[in-house]
Structure 1
Amino acid sequence: MDTDYAIIGGGVVGLSIAWGLLKRGKHVVVLDGEDGGFRASRGNFGLVWVQSKGLNQPRYAEWCQQSAAAWRGFADELGEATGGNLGLEQDGGYDFHFSEESLEETVAKYEVLKAKLGGNYPYEVLRGNALRREEPEIGSAVVGAILHEQDGHVNPLRLLQSLAQAVRGLGGRVLTGKSVVEVDKPRDFLLTCSDGTQVRAEKVVLSAGLGAAELGPKMGFRAPVSPLKGQNLVTEKLPQFINRPSLYARQVNEGGVQIGVSTEKTGFEDGVTLDTLSSIAAKALEVYPCLKSAQVVRTWGALRIMSPDGLPIYQESAEMPGAFLVTCHSGVSLAAAHARFLPDWLEKTAAAPDLEVFREDRFQV
């Protein structure tokens, strides 16, 4: 089969790009791997997040802000196309602190970034009664919070489902169980899957998450990505008591509370461990003591896709022009940008965003 674009990877990143290209009239085939693969799109925290990102690279903060600003229109359009509700809420998000020293240190960093962004970094510091008016169930261990107005959260599984449905609705082909093992370029690209399926494409986007580390070098990329495990818990459905999300906990639109914040270098082992689950549950109880009586109904581990500096990689191959590497650990936050703005970069239009600082050759210095 022939197509304009072959997208390797059918997670949130790949499907967002596919949807954006289809909206521009391109023919797209998405090659999604085996069900047993590592899938960050099925295990993430669902945050649409700006704060704390880009402290050392303001362009990343700007890119996240651009995506966050586009998210409402992106979600509405997906909802109209699929008849679904992504559960998007963008009323701000919290960075909780348990000491004044920690809070003040973070505020100082935010002020530096805010100056670099020309003042466009809207946040507010809440302490004591001001915080408890916003979040009545906050525990006494929390001394303050930074409320960032551009933050929010979404139902990530509904996002993934809606993207796949919308891509197909626009005529895109999503082929599941197709692990690409070879990419050749006699003239156009020829992609060969492990089951013998072949796809010819004018251009290729490698957005296979951790799979890029193996396939990337065959396409002229270094693809220096590695796994970083996070573990999560979800409680039973509860009456709403959390008004805004944080990195510690968020209450999903269906009532359950998702609890997280763990980072572990365990290679490709993505199972759950009692000690880590106990640790993140204890921290969540410090923030929301009322969770003490809640029943946990599900736990899981998932692997983030991390570059050496934690930032995305956007790169065209020098060896295979027309092949692009797109990888990040913020696939949900950046989904709107990938759908709305990245096609201009792939097509090299006058409206292409400046992504030069995210080239992978930054790691060669």
Structure 2
Amino acid sequence: MRQDFLIIGGGVVGMAVAYGLARAGQGVTVLDESDDALRASRGNAGLTWVQGKGIGMPRYAELSLDAVRGWSAFARELTERTGIDLQYEQRGGVDLCFDAEEAESRQREYDELQQASPRLAREFEWDYLSRDALLPYLPELGERIHGGTWSPHDGHCNPLYLLRALYAASRALGVEIHPSTPAQALSKADSGFCATTAKGTFTAERIVIAAGLGARTLAPTLGLSGAVAPLRGQILVTERLPALGWLPTPQLRQTASGGVLIGDTHERSGFDKGVTLAMMQAIAAKAVQICPALEATRLVRAWGALRVMTPDGNPLYEASASHPGAYNINCHSGITLASFHASALAEAILNDRLGQQYAAFSGERFHVSA
């Protein structure tokens, strides 16, 4: 059976788009890599977050705001379709500042962001709170913390359950998913596009590249940007603990099962997704500074994962001019943007208006001459 769309990449980004297209009645095939691939979807903190997004590109902050506003309905819909609880909460979040200089810089960035966008000036809610003012949100916060920015928009989910639910819902809608079938080459066919794999050739009328770091080699063959690079993050996980009563932060958050995820590292380490003792020690020391009650807590797991980063850190959404019907979707914020990818972005792809509606996110911005 001929498919309408071929999606390259079965992480949260690719599966959210697949789900959105299938929900609109399209025939979709997804080609994914093996479980030991560089999976940002399985190695993240599960935050649904507006803070920090769009510095230098307000449109990204606006998309993030749209996405978190759609997350409750998105999570509810997936749970109703699959019975999988995504453990989504939106009670607000805090991004900590460790000294006065960081606090001043953060507030200046947010002020400038709102000055650049009338919509964000009206709708992006945040406040800087001192360490003492944060205590109702972060009980027993370490005394050496200066404070942090609080926003009611932020929340968190279980990213593994999100991915599982997207797979289950997509399959129920007829999406064909081929695991351990990475695309080796992409090409234009007479009546669509072709992906060559070790298990055979797959064709569809249109193609969406959502391959994360795999886009470096695949996207340019269809006239799209491969301007993505790896940025490693390392995370420590504690034993299960009684509820701390904390709002999530990028530095530390407690999951629904009780374990605490610790880590907010940004390392240029190539394609090495391993963990290092020095960084684990640094993460652990920082966690105790943030929450001294964790000092005697046992650590049960550590992992490293590679974020997918564009040169400016903002999403990459583009349609190919040389190969009409080919699209490139890439970002490092697939959890936050999942509700947007499954709705407005999928609709823009379906209507072949991705290039017009999201022109600011095209890879062309990386090649503008001085």
1:347 correspondence with 2:334: no
The CA deviation string for residues 152-175 of structure 1, in whole angstroms up to 9 with x for no partner, is 111000001111011001111111
Shift of 1:344: 2.0
Q: Which amino acid aligns with 1:103?
A: A
Tell me how far apart the structure 2 counterparts of residues 131 and 353 of structure 1 sit (CA, whole Å).
43
Q: Which amino acid aligns with 2:320?
A: S
Instruction: Give the aligned partner of residue 146 of structure 2.
Output: 143
Shift of 1:84: 1.1
Match of residue 218, structure 1, among 218, 221, 231: 221
Q: Which amino acid aligns with 2:96?
A: F
Tell me how far apart the structure 2 counterparts of residues 285 and 353 of structure 1 sit (CA, whole Å).
48
The CA deviation string for residues 74-133 of structure 1, in whole angstroms up to 9 with x for no partner, is 000001111011011111111111222321221122112123332221012222432112
Identical residues among aligned pairs (%): 42
Aligned pairs (5 A) from 1:277-316: 277-316=280-319
Q: Which amino acid aligns with 2:290?
A: V
Match of residue 323, structure 1, among 321, 326, 334: 326
1:12 correspondence with 2:12: yes
Tell me how far apart the structure 2 counterparts of residues 192 and 109 of structure 1 sit (CA, whole Å).
43
Tell me how far apart the structure 2 counterparts of residues 331 and 157 of structure 1 sit (CA, whole Å).
12
Unaligned runs of 5+ in 1: none
Q: Which amino acid aligns with 2:108?
A: A
The CA deviation string for residues 221-269 of structure 1, in whole angstroms up to 9 with x for no partner, is 2311110100001101000114211111000011000001111111111
Instruction: Give the aligned partner of residue 358 of structure 1.
Output: 361
Give the conservation status (yes or no) of the 8 Å contact 2:319–2:355: no
Instruction: Give the aligned partner of residue 157 of structure 1.
Output: 160
Match of residue 199, structure 1, among 198, 202, 205: 202
1:167 correspondence with 2:170: yes
Q: Which amino acid aligns with 1:82?
A: T
Q: Secondary structure at the match of 1:341?
A: helix
Give every structure 1 segment of 4 or more consecutive aligned residues whose post-TM-superposition deviation is greater than 6 Å.
349-353
Q: Are residues 347 and 42 of structure 1, via their aligned partners in 2, closer, same or farther at CA, if it must alter by over 3 Å?
A: same
Match of residue 179, structure 1, among 179, 182, 186: 182
Q: Secondary structure at the match of 1:161?
A: helix
Q: Secondary structure at the match of 1:125?
A: strand
TM-score under structure 1 length normalisation:
0.96
Shift of 1:192: 3.4
The farther-off stretch of 38-47 and 132-141 is 132-141
Tell me how far apart the structure 1 counterparts of residues 354 and 269 of structure 2 sit (CA, whole Å).
41
The farther-off stretch of 93-102 and 46-55 is 93-102
Tell me how far apart the structure 1 counterparts of residues 199 and 322 of structure 2 sit (CA, whole Å).
24
Instruction: Give the aligned partner of residue 125 of structure 2.
Output: 122
Tell me how far apart the structure 2 counterparts of residues 188 and 140 of structure 1 sit (CA, whole Å).
64
Q: Which amino acid aligns with 1:338?
A: H
Aligned pairs (5 A) from 1:55-66: 55-66=55-66
Give the conservation status (yes or no) of the 8 Å contact 2:186–2:196: no
Instruction: Give the aligned partner of residue 269 of structure 1.
Output: 272
For the aligned residue pairs, the C-alpha RMSD in angstroms reads 1.6
Q: Secondary structure at the match of 1:56?
A: coil
Tell me how far apart the structure 2 counterparts of residues 133 and 36 of structure 1 sit (CA, whole Å).
41
Q: Are residues 350 and 198 of structure 1, via their aligned partners in 2, closer, same or farther at CA, if it must alter by over 3 Å?
A: closer
Q: Which amino acid aligns with 1:280?
A: I
Instruction: Give the aligned partner of residue 84 of structure 1.
Output: 84
Q: Are residues 296 and 134 of structure 1, via their aligned partners in 2, closer, same or farther at CA, if it must alter by over 3 Å?
A: same
Q: Secondary structure at the match of 1:239?
A: coil
Q: Are residues 128 and 182 of structure 1, via their aligned partners in 2, closer, same or farther at CA, if it must alter by over 3 Å?
A: closer
Tell me how far apart the structure 1 counterparts of residues 344 and 211 of structure 2 sit (CA, whole Å).
19
Tell me how far apart the structure 2 counterparts of residues 11 and 127 of structure 1 sit (CA, whole Å).
38
Q: Are residues 227 and 128 of structure 1, via their aligned partners in 2, closer, same or farther at CA, if it must alter by over 3 Å?
A: closer
The CA deviation string for residues 195-244 of structure 1, in whole angstroms up to 9 with x for no partner, is 24222201100001001111112211231111010000110100011421
Tell me how far apart the structure 2 counterparts of residues 329 and 55 of structure 1 sit (CA, whole Å).
15
Q: Secondary structure at the match of 1:268?
A: coil
Q: Secondary structure at the match of 2:153?
A: coil
Tell me how far apart the structure 2 counterparts of residues 320 and 191 of structure 1 sit (CA, whole Å).
12
Tell me how far apart the structure 2 counterparts of residues 138 and 31 of structure 1 sit (CA, whole Å).
45
Tell me how far apart the structure 2 counterparts of residues 148 and 183 of structure 1 sit (CA, whole Å).
43
Q: Are residues 226 and 128 of structure 1, via their aligned partners in 2, closer, same or farther at CA, if it must alter by over 3 Å?
A: closer
Q: Secondary structure at the match of 1:6?
A: strand
Q: Which amino acid aligns with 1:58?
A: P
1:24 correspondence with 2:27: no
